[in-house]
Amino acid sequence: MASRFPFPGLPSGWYVVALSEEVKRGQVVPRHYFDQELVVYRGADGVARIAEAYCPHMGAHLGRVGKVEGNVLRCGFHGFQYDGEGRCVATGYDDPPPSRARLRTWEAREQNGLILTWYGAGGEGYDWEVPVLDDADWNRIRWHRFDIATHPQETTENSVDFGHFTRVHGFVDGSITQPIELDGPLLTIAYRAHRPMPMPAMPLWKVPVDYAVKVWGLGYSQVDVRIDPLHLDLRVWVLPVPRDDEHIDLVIGASTKKGLGPLSTYTRRIAHKIVCKEVGEDLDIWTYKKYVERPPLAKGDGPVAIYRRYVKQFYPPFAGVDEAGDEATLKAAVGP
């Protein structure tokens, strides 16, 4: 069966392989991401590290039989030990480590409660980073992980798919308050939409909600949400990480700004629930849709065509990109 996602593989970018809270000191956590077996582990020094799961000696799975000892990872099959750079620093015998016994390591960044790694689609290294957010004024983030049969390009496309906010999420009177802007790997756009709130014995209250969307590649989006009448500031994270070409984990986080006193915890819980509910509304669309290469876009769709040009930078150069067709799609979307 043809793939629903005719993309040239998985896009380069920073992806969340684990939450900080999931990897305690001395713990090894197995993960299957980018169609590879990985381990995330934390040494006695508190540093989170990421490596290929298969021991280069004779292939044991370090996520199953590996142990953290101090800051090294020790394989349970013959006792070879690997440091944070993947060098074999000891064997299980008195022999010196064989030079070819080298464990492949992955970049690891730990920030804002997340352990991120860089995936290079063409094997290339990173040349940009995801910013560390100042979280001093923010409550602890609540996280939830969804398991979805889709691709990160599809879920991230939703952030510019203006039309679906009304149909799928029930917002009304939406407008783009800051047009889409591309700056290398960063895409920004802002919206205002209204959430109808039925009030007892009162006319329908349409609560204005402002969204400032920042997308750093296809694995990391962060949305600042402001609900003025409630003086409420939220931060939302939307973090797809591909397990393989057709399946992702979608990690969703929500936090509220401190300063609401006892209401803080309550609003954080509610905000998290609302965000998860909204993702739930998209689930069937993502799970069953296919990617339409040249969609007959209408103006109300939002800047989908610009997004599709933006995403190309995350894939290695590939044959078949039709710039002329791309321009035509763009014109159809935004007008002459």
The amino acid at residue 32 is: H
Angle among Cα 62, 65, 66 to the nearest 5 degrees reads 50
309 φψ region: left (φ > 0), alpha (ψ -120 to 50), beta (else):
alpha
Q: Which is nearer to ligand FES, 52 or 210 (CB)?
A: 52
CB closer to ligand FES out of 103 and 187: 103
- The secondary structure of 47-89 as a DSSP string is -EEEEESB-TTT--BHHHH-EEETTEEE-TTT--EE-TT-BEE
Q: How many Å separate Cα 56 from the centre of its chain?
A: 29
Spatial contact of 51 and 74, defined as CB atoms under 8 Å apart: no
- Say how far apart CA 225 and CA 234 lie, in whole Å: 5
| Binding status of residue 321 toward ligand FES by CB under 6 A | no
Nearer to Fe ion, 105 or 158 (CB): 158
Judged by CB under 5 A, does residue 249 bind Fe ion?
A: no
Q: In whole angstroms, how close is the CB of 89 to ligand FES at the nearest point?
A: 12
Among ligand FES, Fe ion, none, the one that 282 touches (CB under a kind-dependent 5 to 8 A) is Fe ion
72 binds ligand FES (CB under 6 A): no
What are the Cα distances from residue 43, in Å, to 7, 40, 53, 235, 265? 37, 10, 16, 30, 32
User: Minimum Å distance from CB 48 to ligand FES?
Assistant: 22
- 41 counts as binding ligand FES under rule CB under 6 A: no
Write each residue from 129 to 168 as x if it is in contact with Fe ion (CB under 5 A), else as -, in one continuous string: -----------------------------x----------
Q: Which two tokens stand for residue 307?
A: 């997004």
The site partner of 49 among Fe ion, ligand FES, none (C-beta below 5 to 8 Å per kind) is none
Is 58 a binding residue for ligand FES by CB under 6 A? The answer is yes
| Residue 143 engages ligand FES in binding (rule: CB under 6 A) | no
State residue 307 phi and psi, 5-degree precision: -60, -40
Figure out which of the listed residues 19, 60, 276, 330 binds ligand FES, where binding follows CB under 6 A.
Answer: 60
Q: Examine residue 165 and tell whether it contacts ligand FES (CB under 6 A).
A: no
Instruction: Give the binding-site size for ligand FES (rule: CB under 6 A).
Output: 10
Q: Give me 148's structure tokens.
A: 């979805």
Question: Where do contacts with ligand FES occur on this chain (CB under 6 A)?
Answer: 55, 57-60, 75, 77-80
